[in-house]
A and B are shown apart, each in its own frame.
Chain A
């Protein structure tokens, strides 16, 4: 019996010690990890580079994301991020039903080219019913129709030194004192040339609506939602991402999110 009493005493002392340790966890001593320039954060961010390299090594460049049956489209595509850009250029184009819109391919290419919406629609089309995974955690299945990006890039002729595509968009995702911050994203050429990477102009058998990125939204189906830039107008081939935005290769990467976005 005495043994049990000692055990109880020990148990209570231990519980008190444990309780105070748990309460410590409730403080904010790990908030320094939120600082973008903190060396410890910069070190642990390298895990994302490892993830990128591991997935590139493991996943074949041509391996497709799952495509679903039409019966899996059970709802409209949830709009997120920018849903109604208010830049003058976009408002003008929208007012003209995107008649004057042109998608430009420039940068490290043999010749800069641009295409109207009608020209893009006349290129070979591909439809895919895929799952859109938002970084917040939700998923939504929808049918996307467009033309593959790879052949469009080939029409411009990508120069051998090019390593990334930078996707410039019309939407002012954030307004700051120094003016609008426009959305942009980037990918490596594996994602750009992936067979499911399409310049989409159709959603669920209708014209792509403004809330989902009209007139053109890029689909990179093996990555999270923030790698699917909406309101796309220019694709720039580069060998370095540092001159754009804050140098991390995209609006959300500039805000601390992983650039690769495949996880």
Chain B
């Protein structure tokens, strides 16, 4: 008699992966970043130029990005100048809208709140969601420090760095492991977001406040001037948009229902072969 052959399990245990704090702050940030991005582009449109230094060069040139429109013999065109290189960006930057009713704005109304030029409202929306964003980050740091999420899933350790090449290769081959904790690449990504990008975008935002510059003059020194801070604020925005795009692609590749479930209920279906532990569900 041969013992009945045990089939390898087709799926791993259901693990409780995301605490209520992680889930609440995640969705709070999702909403905040949406409004912050679109109102931020509205604010940027009031002066679609970025500079390096304390001030904006009107009689000298310290501009690194300039979006505008020019008149040509064939009619107006949208133009974007980055580091002295000028590109025709008609239809997207500098000039957008329909051919009959072109809009001469930096970013098109389709990606700003409100959709028309309205700096005052853009600022009202931006600062409201800015406060919520910072509040959620404060709560997350506190909760993640106490419940171990930060130490377990966010801060990369030696083993994570050693496992990085293999993890990168797995990701490149779309071999995604659904483990109990995050993979090295995940840890590094979230570490960069929480410890670099989020603090940077908050501090550069504060550097743009003349009141905060009086309170914390070191902000001006750390970032090399108010206008440099404004430029860094913009660059970090671009990096966060890139993070968002990769984040969504990874959710779709890794199984959007399972990923969404874990960020709504906290329960996450792991890959076959994941060792069961106390508290898991089958």
- Compute how far the CA of A27 lies from the CA of B108 in the bound complex, rounded to whole angstroms: 11
Which residues of B72-113 are within 8 A (CB) of A? 109-111, 113
The 5 nearest A-B residue pairs measured at CB: A262-B211, A256-B120, A26-B110, A75-B59, A14-B252
Question: Is B60 a contact of A55 with CB atoms below 8 Å?
Answer: no
Q: How far is the CB of B58 from chain A (nearest CB, A)?
A: 5
Question: Is B111 a contact of A33 with CB atoms below 8 Å?
Answer: no
- Compute how far the CA of A25 lies from the CA of B112 in the bound complex, rounded to whole angstroms: 9
B124 at the interface (CB under 8 A from A): yes
* A33 and B215 in contact, given A14-B256, A131-B54, A137-B46 (Cβ under 8 angstroms): no
Which one, B125, B211, B230, contacts A263 given CB within 8 A? B211
Interface residues on B, range: 35 or more
Question: Is B248 a contact of A18 with CB atoms below 8 Å?
Answer: yes
Residues on A with C-beta less than 8 A from B49 are 137-138
Question: Is B47 a contact of A221 with CB atoms below 8 Å?
Answer: no
Question: Is B230 a contact of A137 with CB atoms below 8 Å?
Answer: yes
- Compute how far the CA of A257 lies from the CA of B127 in the bound complex, rounded to whole angstroms: 12
The number of chain A residues with a CB under 8 A from chain B is 57
Residues on B with C-beta less than 8 A from A131 are 54-55, 210, 226
Residues of A within 8 A of B (CB): 4, 7, 10-11, 14-15, 18, 25-28, 30-31, 33-34, 41, 44-45, 47-48, 50-51, 55, 58-60, 63-66, 68, 72, 74-76, 78, 131, 133-141, 221-224, 252, 255-258, 262-263
- Compute how far the CA of A65 lies from the CA of B49 in the bound complex, rounded to whole angstroms: 24
* A65 and B252 in contact, given A76-B59, A131-B55 (Cβ under 8 angstroms): no
- Compute how far the CA of A53 lies from the CA of B44 in the bound complex, rounded to whole angstroms: 26
Question: Is A4 a contact of B124 with CB atoms below 8 Å?
Answer: no
B265 at the interface (CB under 8 A from A): no
* A222 and B46 in contact, given A31-B116, A75-B58 (Cβ under 8 angstroms): no
- Compute how far the CA of A139 lies from the CA of B220 in the bound complex, rounded to whole angstroms: 13
* Bitwise interface map of B from 205 to 223 toward A, beta carbon under 8 Å scored 1, else 0: 0001111111101001000
Question: Is A257 a contact of B123 with CB atoms below 8 Å?
Answer: yes
- Compute how far the CA of A109 lies from the CA of B174 in the bound complex, rounded to whole angstroms: 75
Question: Is A31 a contact of B210 with CB atoms below 8 Å?
Answer: no
Residues on B with C-beta less than 8 A from A47 are 124, 127-128, 130-131
* A133 and B113 in contact, given A44-B124, A66-B213 (Cβ under 8 angstroms): no
Question: Is B127 a contact of A263 with CB atoms below 8 Å?
Answer: yes
Residues on B with C-beta less than 8 A from A135 are 46, 119, 123
Question: Is B34 a contact of A25 with CB atoms below 8 Å?
Answer: yes
* Bitwise interface map of B from 49 to 78 toward A, beta carbon under 8 Å scored 1, else 0: 100001111111000000000000000000
Residues on A with C-beta less than 8 A from B59 are 74-76
B139 at the interface (CB under 8 A from A): no
Question: Is A133 a contact of B116 with CB atoms below 8 Å?
Answer: no
Residues on A with C-beta less than 8 A from B174 are 4, 7
Q: How far is the CB of B44 from chain A (nearest CB, A)?
A: 7
Residues of B within 8 A of A (CB): 34, 38, 43-44, 46-47, 49, 54-60, 109-111, 113-116, 118-121, 123-125, 127-128, 130-131, 174, 208-215, 217, 220, 226-227, 230, 248-249, 251-253, 255-256
Residues on B with C-beta less than 8 A from A223 are 210-211
Residues on A with C-beta less than 8 A from B110 are 25-26
Residues on A with C-beta less than 8 A from B131 are 47, 50-51
A-B contact list, 18 entries, CB within 8 Å = A7-B174, A25-B38, A30-B125, A33-B114, A34-B121, A47-B130, A48-B124, A51-B131, A59-B212, A59-B214, A63-B215, A65-B210, A78-B58, A131-B226, A135-B123, A138-B56, A257-B119, A257-B123
* A44 and B226 in contact, given A65-B214, A137-B46 (Cβ under 8 angstroms): no
- Compute how far the CA of A30 lies from the CA of B41 in the bound complex, rounded to whole angstroms: 14
Known: A51-B131, A138-B49. 4 other contacts (CB 8 A): A15-B252, A45-B124, A45-B128, A256-B121
* A48 and B211 in contact, given A25-B38, A136-B47 (Cβ under 8 angstroms): no
- Compute how far the CA of A175 lies from the CA of B230 in the bound complex, rounded to whole angstroms: 33
- Compute how far the CA of A255 lies from the CA of B120 in the bound complex, rounded to whole angstroms: 7
Question: Is A63 a contact of B214 with CB atoms below 8 Å?
Answer: yes
